[in-house]
Amino acid sequence: MRDRAPTGWWAQGAFAAILVATVGQLALAVALPDLEQFEGKAFTARLVAYPLMMLAVPAVWWVKNRGHDHRGVPWAAFAWIALPFLVDTSGNTADLYDSVGWWDDANHLVNWFFLGTGAGLLVTRSLPRPSWAPGLMVAGIGAGLAILWEIGEYYAFIRGGTELDTAYTDTLGDLTLGSLGSVIAGGVVAHRYRREGAGP
């Protein structure tokens, strides 16, 4: 997973498309708050928070690496990390959270796999041997992000009382699925890192 050449233009385009599609749908949700799929889901806060979170990793990378990293900007990693925000927003736009019973659970598993893959692309750029280290690091990063996400959901939905009755079970399930998605991503990252000859 180490970059041997600058990432192609397609990855930069993918990141830009993901960002624009996410912000566009969030703006639509704020403009049409009376639509059933948008009611009570804090879309005004999301319109601010999601773009900031999507741009945070590229901003930190730029501040840390400007003029020092000659392997190119890791646009593919940024796109993987931004992708869950698009999936979440699109799920709300299509009313999948309310109409498909398993959609929320699938999101926690798959989106944390996406996040873990993006984190793996970043950490394997500079992480030394042994080759199992990236997998463990990705799993840990993902589990930590799952905890932070659930804290955010608590303040957005549970603390206000809209989902209080199911909060405990839902939070445990979300943490489990998010962590599992991160572990799977960590395994993929470690396997690819090993195949590229990064270490034993």
Q: Is residue 157 part of a domain?
A: yes
Q: Is residue 200 part of a domain?
A: no
CB distance 9 to 75 below 8 Å: no
Three-state SS sequence of the chain:
CCCCCCCCHHHHHHHHHHHHHHHHHHHHHHHCCCCHHHCCCCHHHHHHHHHHHHHHHHHHHHHHHCCCCCCCCCHHHHHHHHHHHHHHHHHHHCCHHHHCCCHHHHHHHHHHHHHHHHHHHHHCCCCCCCCCHHHHHHHHHHHHHHHHHHHHHHHHHHCCCCCHHHHHHHHHHHHHHHHHHHHHHHHHHHHHHHHCCCCC
Q: 85: domain range? A: 9-195
Q: Is residue 133 part of a domain?
A: yes
Q: What is the mean pLDDT of the chain?
A: 81
Cα 106 to Cα 153: distance, rounded to the nearest angstrom: 17
Q: Is residue 113 part of a domain?
A: yes
Question: Domain total for the chain?
Answer: 1
The first and second tokens of residue 64, run together, are: 């840390």
Q: Is residue 1 part of a domain?
A: no
CB distance 116 to 189 below 8 Å: yes
Q: Is residue 110 part of a domain?
A: yes
Q: Is residue 3 part of a domain?
A: no
- The per-residue pLDDT for range 130-175, each reduced to its tens digit, is 766 777 788 888 888 888 877 777 776 666 555 666 666 777 778 8
Q: Is residue 172 part of a domain?
A: yes
- The per-residue pLDDT for range 9-64, each reduced to its tens digit, is 889 999 999 999 999 999 999 998 888 888 878 888 899 999 999 999 999 998 88
The first and second tokens of residue 184, run together, are: 């799977």
